[in-house]
Amino acid sequence: MNWQADKELRRLVDGMLDGSLGRAQVARLEERIEGDPRAMDYYLDLAGQEVLLADLLGGFESEAPLVRPWWRKAGMSWTAAAAAVVALSFALWKSENPVQRTAEEAAWARLSSGMATTVSKRSLSDGSLLGHDAGLLEFGPGLAEVVHDSGARLLIEGPAGYEVTGPNSGRLKFGTLVAQIPRGAEGYVVEWADGRVVDLGTEFVINVPHNHGPAEVGVFRGEVRVHPDGAPDAAGAPLYTGHAVRMAGESTTRMRSIPFDQDRFIRNMPSRELPWFFQGGGLPMEWDISHLVWSEGELLAVFKWMNGPDALALARVELLLDGVVVAVDAHDCSVGDPASTLGNVYRLAIPAASWRKGKWQLRAWPVTGGIGTRSEGILMVENGSALAAGAEDFMGAWDYVHDGKRYRRMFHRDGTCTLWVDDQPSDYFLDAHWEVVGGILKVNFPASRVSEEHLLRDRESLLFINQPYRNARRAE
């Protein structure tokens, strides 16, 4: 019969790996390990497994950001998209007529999405091309995503200053940059004032303090070469998965190994769409939105029903900073039945004096539901461009898919709108008119008191506020 670890050994080994054992328990574990080679192998198996799991799962591809650059077709992973970009770049490079390259072809990178305010002299928005003339891009507090033509994807946390210096290189003046380098884009180089990092196929972070403090480099997975200025080693020092260094002029290698606090860094553009699951009762629902709140101003919390037999009724939504309520919008809301979805947009103002980095939460107080009540949906958290959108921003054609059918809705300048289903015109919008009120587009139907409502997350993404449809993309 196979040997199996007993309860005590399992508990001791788990505790050792989690760092929760006391002195007496460690002594007991030592006894068990010394007394039985199978117990020792059991311990070594799990200790090894623990670190290998971190390696194998450290580079997992998390859910792709919902806001994709236009060239990322639905269903493509970002690595695949990056590979496509690399192939495209190569094709352009091989072009027979390089002199007549378009601005797009000449660009080295693209600002693909962001929550950070751009404070550069040049006005930038999602999709802006970044070539040799882009100069230093300065970002205010928030996140910005820059994708180089090589496929290297950078998530920059502001305040930050970054300059695109080539198709696969850049300079970080200050701030934090997390780089994800797909296959085919190895060799991405990022410089800072007194050093540079050469990537060898990896995900890494570089943090350059604004106050000229020492830069730090850490590797989430893969390998980089760090080249501090003045270091004797021309080949650069290798840095591997899970490791970090801080530049240290007094050291012979010009750097020192430091603990890598991976939680400090944001590695993916956070989703603005947070799930909710309502199962009755009057307890509040809460969401951590720390990575979505970067400045003072108005924040929209939009509740959208997706599934479930019952409607969700809310009475009040609060915005909290480190557990303290800083903004409240109290009004009745019901989401569930599209024909009766009312009041599902909550507006919360963050006063200038209240904004700072911290734990930001949204808390929604449901009206008590009956036993067995259940529904589920998403909470969309929007600010910035979503609230500033005017009629011009909404105009044009928008594509989406629902239940296997392809839809295109078009908002015309004269206030009318049209709908196509699988390329066939539909009379659904006959007699309907649209208007924009407070950043929200309302499609009004003469025979119905309920409008269909939309928000614009960015230039390319149209959200449905009270319909359970996926976001629509601007038609090319």
Partner 1 sequence: MQPEPQPPQHGSFQPFRTIPADGKRPSDADVTFSEDIRAIQAALKEYVSGLLGWQDGVEDLVQETNLFLWERRIEFEPGTNFRAWAMRVAWFKVMAERRDRARSGRVVFSEEIISRLAARAEERMEETDGRLRALKRCLEFTRVQDRRLLEWKYGRRENLTDLAAGRGISPGSLHKTISRLRLVLRHCVEKQLKEESSI
Q: Using omega within 30 degrees of 0 as the cis cutoff, is the peptide bond preceding 238 cis?
A: no
Nearest to 464 by CA among 367, 392, 380: 380
Closer of 173 and 225 to partner 1 (Cβ): 225
Closer of 265 and 305 to partner 1 (Cβ): 265
Closer of 238 and 415 to partner 1 (Cβ): 238
Closer of 196 and 457 to partner 1 (Cβ): 196
Closer of 42 and 303 to partner 1 (Cβ): 42
Residue 107 Cβ vs partner 1, minimum distance, rounded to whole Å: 21
Residue 125 Cβ vs partner 1, minimum distance, rounded to whole Å: 31
Positive or negative CA dihedral for 434, 435, 438, 439?
positive
Residue 199 Cβ vs partner 1, minimum distance, rounded to whole Å: 9
Amino acid at 15: G
- The encoded tokens of residue 1 equal 């019969």
Q: Are 161 and 136 in contact (CB under 8 A)?
A: yes
- For residue 434, with 0-12 CB atoms within 10 Å meaning exposed, 13-18 middle and 19 or more buried, which class applies? buried
Closer of 120 and 253 to partner 1 (Cβ): 253
Closer of 47 and 119 to partner 1 (Cβ): 47
Residue 432 Cβ vs partner 1, minimum distance, rounded to whole Å: 41
Nearest to 468 by CA among 380, 409, 381: 380
Closer of 58 and 127 to partner 1 (Cβ): 58
How many other CB atoms are found less than 10 A from the CB of residue 138?
21
Residue 55 Cβ vs partner 1, minimum distance, rounded to whole Å: 7
Residue 39 Cβ vs partner 1, minimum distance, rounded to whole Å: 11
Q: Are 376 and 277 in contact (CB under 8 A)?
A: yes
String of DSSP letters for 148-195: ETTS-EEEEEEEEEEEEEETTEEEEEEEEEEEE--TT-TT-EEEETTE
Q: Are 351 and 293 in contact (CB under 8 A)?
A: no
Closer of 19 and 404 to partner 1 (Cβ): 19
Distances 428 to 322, 404, 419, 420, 423 between C-alpha atoms, Å: 47, 18, 7, 9, 14
Residue 269 Cβ vs partner 1, minimum distance, rounded to whole Å: 15
Residue 272 Cβ vs partner 1, minimum distance, rounded to whole Å: 18
Nearest to 389 by CA among 451, 436, 453: 436
Q: Are 317 and 348 in contact (CB under 8 A)?
A: yes
* Rounded-to-integer distance, Cα 164 and Cα 149, Å: 11
Residue 170 Cβ vs partner 1, minimum distance, rounded to whole Å: 12
